[in-house]
């Protein structure tokens, strides 16, 4: 019988993980990362390092079901000022729901990630005695003015929300309250979705070095290639050999790290940081200075494109800072207590837009 493992590798306490205890788990909020190509571990390392005032319990890609915050603690995955969760469940999502993120795009195999995503939702339903038809809700349903996740991503792969819920329900029915593996002689399942869960707590041990192999090594290799450190002989083959070690040492030397050829927390975080900066700065550059009503030019276009990317529609991308752009900036600023919601784009607003783009 097909099974999946749950990897538990928790981030440190801080803005993203407060350590506060969650109440009774009443529902599940389904998300997607909104950052195509970002892996489960890539997201885990970002939240551990950057500590934004946002998070989710679990990130799922084609290799890992990765819990980064214990299910007994709160995660900050839905804005506290939206009201859909209170109307539906009588509680804020951050106080009473598990947040689950689907990683997609890039080199992530969607089918494999989706199967894990379905299975994990069913696992949570069994664990907390939830009904998939009533107790799973899309982030887009709770925050429709800003979010489309995960409905749009599922739809782009030919899966409606109702089809997703039915997949979860079918998987849950097949659990039969059991957590044992099928005997070796059992016939292979007729579906790509697993029928019975076997959950094993595990973690990836750092540092990673020569002689190690597996999916996590392949992730590191892909990150090295993205950062410009070519692996021409073997590529991202999941084997940490001499070629990979040499690339790691070159990277460490270029960024003034200890040059030992081992990928420990410092090297891994720097590698992820470099690639995150390369992606966001290239895809959505942001201007410096101050922009307000009446401003015009390429800098205004950059702000408008960035706002549109994070679901704050500024209207036409025309390079004119008009009332719709001002309103989009003001709505974004209202999310953060540190920002004055004055509709003026300045250094502080730039900082928080960049954080949202990098999330």
Instruction: Give 53-107 pLDDT, tens digit per residue.
Output: 899 999 999 999 999 999 999 999 998 888 889 989 999 999 999 999 999 998 8
pLDDT over 70 (residue 12): yes
pLDDT over 90 (residue 11): yes
Residue bearing the bigger pLDDT, 185 or 219:
219
Q: Range(s) for CATH 3.40.80.10 in the chain? A: 7-175
| pLDDT tens by residue, 25-62 | 999 999 999 888 889 999 998 899 888 889 999 999 99
Q: What contacts 24+ positions apart, CB below 8 Å, involve 283-289?
A: 283/357, 284/309, 284/357, 286/350, 286/353, 286/354, 287/350, 288/347, 288/350, 289/346
Q: What is the DSSP letter of 284?
A: S
Distances (CA, A) of 89 to 86, 95, 348: 5, 11, 35
Confidence of residue 197 (pLDDT cuts 50, 70, 90): very low
Does the CA dihedral 289-293-295-298 come out positive or negative? positive
Confidence of residue 311 (pLDDT cuts 50, 70, 90): confident
Residue bearing the bigger pLDDT, 141 or 335:
141
Q: What's residue 180's pLDDT?
A: 35
Q: Range(s) for CATH 1.10.101.10 in the chain? A: 215-283
> How many angstroms separate the CA atoms of 161 and 38, rounded?
23
Q: Which CATH architecture has domain 215-283?
A: Orthogonal Bundle (1.10)
Q: What's residue 192's pLDDT?
A: 32
Whether pTM exceeds 0.85: no
Domain 7-175 has CATH 3.10.20.740: no
* CATH number of this structure's domain 298-358, picked from the four choices 2.60.98, 1.10.101, 1.10.30, 2.60.40: 1.10.101
- Average of per-residue pLDDT across 3-20: 91
Confirm if 282 and 230 have CB atoms less than 8 A apart. no
Measured in whole angstroms, how far is the alpha carbon of residue 358 from the centre of its chain? Answer: 10
> How many angstroms separate the CA atoms of 296 and 227, rounded?
34
| pLDDT tens by residue, 135-177 | 999 998 998 877 889 988 888 887 878 889 989 999 998 875 4
Segment (H or E) for 102 = strand 97-102
């Amino acid at each position: 019988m097909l099974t999946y493992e749950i990897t538990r590798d928790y981030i440190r306490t801080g803005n993203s993980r407060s350590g506060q205890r969650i109440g009774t788990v009443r529902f599940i909020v389904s998300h997607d990362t909104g950052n195509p190509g970002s892996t489960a571990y890539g997201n885990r390392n970002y939240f551990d390092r950057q500590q934004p005032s946002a998070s989710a319990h679990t990130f799922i890609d084609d290799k890992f079901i990765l819990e980064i915050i214990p299910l007994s603690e709160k995660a900050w995955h839905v804005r506290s000022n939206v009201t859909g969760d209170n109307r539906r469940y009588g509680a804020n999502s951050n106080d009473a729901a598990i947040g689950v993120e689907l990683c997609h795009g890039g080199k992530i195999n969607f089918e494999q990630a989706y199967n894990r995503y379905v299975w994990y939702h069913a696992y949570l339903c069994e664990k907390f005695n939830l009904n998939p038809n009533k107790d799973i809700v899309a982030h887009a349903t709770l925050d429709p003015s800003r979010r489309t996740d995960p409905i749009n991503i599922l739809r782009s792969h030919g899966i409606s929300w109702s089809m997703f819920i039915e997949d979860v329900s079918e998987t849950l029915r097949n659990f039969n309250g059991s957590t044992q593996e099928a005997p070796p002689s059992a016939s292979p399942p007729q579906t790509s979705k697993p029928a019975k869960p076997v959950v094993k707590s595990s973690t990836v041990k750092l540092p990673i070095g020569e002689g190690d192999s597996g999916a996590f090594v392949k992730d590191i290799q892909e990150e090295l290639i993205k950062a410009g450190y070519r692996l021409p002989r073997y590529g991202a083959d999941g084997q940490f050999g001499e070629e990979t070690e040499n690339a790691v040492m070159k990277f460490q030397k270029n960024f003034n790290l200890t040059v030992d050829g081992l990928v420990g927390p410092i090297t891994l975080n720097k590698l992820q940081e470099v690639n995150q900066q390369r992606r966001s700065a290239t895809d959505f550059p942001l201007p410096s200075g101050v922009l307000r009503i009446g401003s015009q030019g390429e800098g205004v276009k950059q702000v408008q494109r960035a706002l549109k990317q994070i679901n704050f529609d500024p209207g036409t991308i025309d390079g004119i800072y008009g009332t719709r752009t001002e309103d989009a900036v003001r709505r974004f600023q209202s999310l953060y207590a540190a920002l004055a919601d004055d509709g003026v784009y300045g250094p502080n607003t730039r900082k928080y837009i960049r954080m949202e783009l990098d999330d």
